[in-house]
Amino acid sequence: MSTDGISLTKQNSGSREVTEEFWSRVEPEVRSLHEGFRRKVLAAAGEGRKAALFGGRITISTCGVLFQEEECHHLKRRATLVPHARDLVEALSYFGRVYLVTQVLDDRSQENAVRSLREGGICGTLVEDHHCLFCEKHVSKVSIARQVEPCVHVDAEKATASELQRFLPRILLVSKTAGAADPSKPNMLHAETLHSFCSS
């Protein structure tokens, strides 16, 4: 895995570690967000499981996570990035390869989403164009996430998170009303925002 031409070295432990020289070229806020995300995602995982999680793929459902608009039909009017969206995507990219999944109802919504992601320095820079994925239906979003087979899926929709929980190693449900963690679903994590998850 590499980011902006800088290779991340893989140590004998099986997990990816980066040198201080690498981190000296990364903004301290981004490094802090990365470390918070990594710590929480790997918590309670065995050593073998940690190695399997780290360096895999990450899927992010953008509505309600990277976009302030929580419902896909709102994207027809505008697509507004949440504060620190670029920093968050960059931080997660040091954990694994990021894929963005956006549910849109029409061409106008997709155009607004793409424009916002490009202007925000995310699509085409931090995330390759062909990893910025779009679909029209909820069921398609679930299918995409399962096909990508991420080590972590981030979503603001409880129904999607619940469906994927059975199939994926880690789910992060971003919601102000997510409620307490369910002990019967140890792979389901909760946070009010992606930023609060990474920074607390």
- Number of separate domains in the chain: 1
- Report the first-to-last Cα separation within the chain, whole angstroms: 27
Per-residue pLDDT, 64 = 97
Residue 190 has pLDDT above 80, yes or no: yes
Comparing 183 with 129, the larger pLDDT belongs to 129
3-class DSSP state for residue 108?
helix
pTM of the model: 0.86
Q: Report, as an integer, the average pLDDT of 179-200.
A: 83
Within-domain flag for 173: yes
- φ and ψ at residue 133, rounded to 5 degrees: -105, 145
Within-domain flag for 13: no
Residue 49 has pLDDT above 80, yes or no: no
Of all residues in the chain, the percent with pLDDT exceeding 90 is: 73
Q: Could you tell me the CATH number of the domain that includes residue 66?
A: 3.40.50.1000
Parent domain of 105: 31-199
32/50 Cα distance (integer angstroms): 19
How many H helices and E strands in the chain?
8, 8
Per-residue pLDDT, 2 = 38
- What the block records as the tokens of 180 is 């307490």
pLDDT, tens digit, 9 for 90 and up, residues 152-182:
999 999 999 999 999 999 999 999 875 656 6
Q: Report, as an integer, the average pLDDT of 15-38.
A: 83
- What the block records as the tokens of 169 is 């190693």
Per-residue pLDDT, 18 = 57
Within-domain flag for 113: yes
Within-domain flag for 18: no
Within-domain flag for 38: yes
Within-domain flag for 24: no
Q: Report, as an integer, the average pLDDT of 112-131.
A: 97
What does the mean pLDDT of the chain come to?
A: 86
Per-residue pLDDT, 157 = 95
pLDDT, tens digit, 9 for 90 and up, residues 80-103:
999 999 999 999 999 999 999 999
141/4 Cα distance (integer angstroms): 29
Residue 8 has pLDDT above 70, yes or no: no
Within-domain flag for 178: yes
Within-domain flag for 89: yes
Residue 53 has pLDDT above 60, yes or no: yes
Q: Report, as an integer, the average pLDDT of 50-64.
A: 82
Per-residue pLDDT, 128 = 96
| Amino acid identity at 143 | S
- φ and ψ at residue 30, rounded to 5 degrees: -65, -40
Residue 33 has pLDDT above 90, yes or no: yes
In the numeric block, the tokens 């967000």 are attached to: 33
